[in-house]
Amino acid sequence: MAKYALITGASKGIGMEFARIAASKKINLILLARNSETLINLRTELEEAHAIKVLAVGCDLTEPDAVDKITALLYRRNIVPDILINNAGIVIQGSFDSIGAENETNMIQLNVIFFTELTKVIYRQMLKKGNGRILNMSSIGGAGTLPFMAAYHATKAYVLSLSQALATEAKGSGVTVTALCLKTTKTAPLPAKQVAEYGWKEMMKGKTVAEYGKKFRWLPF
């Protein structure tokens, strides 16, 4: 049976580079993002370059029924992903009192609730198959606290904690779970291609926590 990778937030940056890596390895793709036009262009690029199947799904992942729609789509096409890359996320910066409640709620919906629901669905399917790889995008801030990104880093702490616990639960099942923790600054943004290449390599090795960027001695894993 052909392999499939499901990648969220695949329309730009690191998510797009993950898609290109998977395609280069002849892995079929299910790509999710809000920007349908960009996804369609990426689908054309990857199908022509690598002769694979690419399912481009433009959708708002902050909608409460987003996981139900994705699950139904996979069921109709009889697809059980071999790889899940949870890359989609919302970043909000600012003092806690200045951030609008609606914006923060949308971030929590995507970074925590959607992430949890989708991971649970795919994880269960992988357990039944007896194999699979899951990579979850976290942040160096997920191991500590950072002012002016309080709620965002709280969501990434959740991702990191869940990933570590799930990796332990999954031992011996053939399924691995990796948290990719990124360190970035405004003056030195991370190179998407290198991050994706590093994350892919660590995911395939089954590493539980992979840290990309400058190490912080005060944030031990």
- Strand ranges of the sheet holding 4-8, from the earlier edge strand across to the other edge: 54-58, 28-33, 4-8, 83-86, 132-139, 175-182, 209-212
First to last CA, the chain: 37
SS3 assignment, position 180: strand
Show the CA angle centred on residue 134, arms to residues 28 and 204, nearest 5°: 80
Q: From CA 193, how far away is CA 206, in angstroms rounded?
A: 20
Pair 50, 23: CB distance under 8 Å: yes
Q: Which of 59, 60, 47, 55 is nearest to 20 (CA)?
A: 47
Interhelix angle for 150-169 vs 101-108, to 10°? 10
Pair 195, 12: CB distance under 8 Å: no
Q: For residue 4, indicate whether it is catalytic.
A: no
Return the bridge partners of 182, or none.
139, 212
- The residue annotated as part of the active site, out of 4, 152, 198, 212, is 152
Catalytic positions = 152
